[in-house]
Amino acid sequence: MEQPLITIKEIGRKYVIGSEVIHALKSVSLDINKGEFVALMGPSGSGKSTLMNILGCLDTPSSGTYILNGTNVSHMTDDALAEVRNQEIGFVFQTFNLLPRSTALDNVALPLIYAGTSKKDRQARAAKALENVNLGNRMDHKPNELSGGQRQRVAVARALINDPSIILADEPTGNLDTKTSIEIMGLLEEIHSKGNTIILVTHEEDIAQHAHRIVRMRDGLIENDYLNTDIKNVSP
């Protein structure tokens, strides 16, 4: 039997603020298999953002174990985590996180610089990635010359450039209007249909309904975890 892509066991995360100890995650266990499309939901203070940071190797747990693609990343150094992030995880953020003075092509190619890829290969792969998100005619445009939806497509292309194990999308439609949100969710569905694993963090019910599995959190624990039988499919 194929091992899960992600296994977290009894993950806890606490923060010490002055004399107070805050338990953001209490004891969370979760498996995510390759090719799943999972929505991670919960109200403010539920622990979903803390869990997202741990899944994305942006933070390490205070207790418990996190196995990502066969590697224990629970207590790696910051440098080791940065390498794992670059190789294994593609990020799509609510605020796009694009370099304002760089073209769409250069923004997409950025992760390949850290990977040591030659300039010629970087540009060729970035151009292909932009074509795959229907932005082949916007490669030389800077972020301020693009619409919100186009900027998010650039971010999606950048997330895919290293062929990561996981696409981690943090509120990817949070700054978009309804029409553009539907387009971006259609793009994520298309990416998922090609075999990519997607973890979608959202507080919007209608956005979560695009996922095949929904994990709801409350008070630092998983409240429920179920397959979505009412999947909302849209065309990109």
Q: In the prediction, which pLDDT does 189 show?
A: 94
Contact present, 53 and 30 (Cβ < 8 Å): no
Task: Render pLDDT for 91-121 as a digit per residue (tens, 0 to 9).
Answer: 999 888 999 999 999 999 999 988 788 999 9
In 33-147 the beta strands, taken as DSSP E runs, fall at: 37-41, 63-68, 71-72, 89-93
Q: In the prediction, which pLDDT does 115 show?
A: 79
In the CATH scheme, what is the homologous superfamily, with its name and number, of domain 6-227? P-loop containing nucleotide triphosphate hydrolases (3.40.50.300)
Q: In the prediction, which pLDDT does 230 show?
A: 82
DSSP state of 3: P
Q: In the prediction, which pLDDT does 52 show?
A: 94
Report the candidate in 23, 111, 20, 108 with the shortest Cα–Cα distance to residue 64: 23
- DSSP run (H or E) holding 219: none
Structure-token pair, residue 27 = 């004891």
Query: Mean pLDDT throughout 175-188?
Result: 92
d(C-alpha 137, C-alpha 74), whole Å: 42
The domain ranges of the chain are: 6-227
User: What is the rounded end-to-end Cα distance, in angstroms, of the chain?
Assistant: 34
Structure-token pair, residue 142 = 């800077």
Query: Mean pLDDT throughout 138-165?
Result: 94
Report the candidate in 188, 206, 217 with the shortest Cα–Cα distance to residue 36: 188
Kindly tell me the sign of the dihedral angle through the C-alpha atoms of 68, 73, 77, 78.
Answer: positive
φ, ψ of residue 162 in degrees (nearest 5) = -95, 10
Task: Render pLDDT for 1-49 as a digit per residue (tens, 0 to 9).
Answer: 689 999 999 999 999 999 999 999 999 999 999 999 999 999 888 999 9
Q: In the prediction, which pLDDT does 1 show?
A: 66
